[in-house]
């Protein structure tokens, strides 16, 4: 708010100067129309949706956050790509450990862990996410009674043909 208005106010004010204008415009649009006007589709939309979700977290607007999560799911499903790297970092930096958005991101990763490209965005993800994902993978993974190191210890041997003198 304007400095002259701030001085007239007796209660606390909310500082949103760290929120970029586009993110806030999406929230205001949602307030009036209950739709999320996101520029971009698929991978391009994920960082924007992550920022918008974090704004909802900061404003404590559960209905808005739920709509954003629904949009993240729809976008990921339609584009067949889920949030990676920057989007994951934004959500993890702007939410608490019990956040539904964190659970969703972890579920995306652990649900698609058998896909060949699931590790593509991990290098930009925060450590907390990687720990959460590993915990979820271990919990989710079916117990495989096979122990490949017992069945065939040669699986771990180097080829001796390459190293003979």
| Residue 83 is assigned to a structural domain of this protein | yes
pLDDT digits (tens, 9 = 90+) for 95-141: 999 999 999 999 888 877 666 666 767 778 889 998 998 888 877 76
**80 pLDDT tier (thresholds 50, 70, 90):** confident
Whole-number percent of the chain with pLDDT over 70: 75
Within-domain flag for 10? no
Any domain includes 75: yes
Q: Is residue 37 part of a domain?
A: yes
Q: Which domain holds residue 32?
A: 16-141
The whole-model pTM stands at 0.76
Number of domains in the chain: 1
Whether the CB-CB separation of 51 and 65 falls below 8 Å is answered with no
pLDDT at 92: 95
Q: What does the alpha-carbon distance between residue 65 and residue 67 come to, in Å, rounded to a whole number?
A: 5
Higher pLDDT pick, 158 / 105: 105
> Model confidence over 11-42: pLDDT tens digits?
666 788 899 999 999 999 999 999 999 877 77
Instruction: Spell out the SS3 assignment of 59-89.
Output: HCCHHHHHHHHHHHHHHHHHHCCCCCCHHHH
Q: Please indicate, yes or no, if residue 146 is contained in any of the structural domains.
A: no
Residue 92 lies in a domain: yes
Which residue has better confidence, 3 or 33? 33
Is residue 52 domain-resident? yes
**Would residue 159 count as lying in a domain?**
no
pLDDT band, very low/low/confident/very high, at 155 (cuts 50, 70, 90): low
């Amino acid at each position: 708010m304007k400095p002259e208005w701030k001085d007239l106010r007796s209660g606390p004010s909310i500082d949103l100067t760290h929120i970029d204008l586009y993110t806030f415009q999406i929230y205001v649009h949602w307030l009036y129309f209950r739709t999320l006007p996101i520029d971009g589709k698929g991978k391009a939309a994920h960082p924007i949706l992550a920022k918008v979700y974090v704004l909802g977290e900061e404003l404590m607007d559960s209905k808005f956050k739920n709509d954003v999560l629904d949009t993240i799911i729809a976008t990921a499903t339609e584009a067949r790509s889920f949030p990676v790297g920057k989007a994951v970092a934004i959500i993890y930096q702007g939410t608490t450990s019990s956040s539904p958005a964190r659970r969703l991101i972890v579920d995306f990763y652990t649900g698609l862990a058998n896909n060949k490209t699931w590790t593509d965005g991990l290098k930009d993800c925060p450590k907390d996410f990687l720990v959460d994902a590993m915990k979820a993978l271990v919990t989710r993974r079916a117990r495989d009674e096979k122990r490949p190191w017992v069945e065939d210890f040669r699986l771990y041997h180097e080829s001796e043909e390459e190293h003979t003198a």
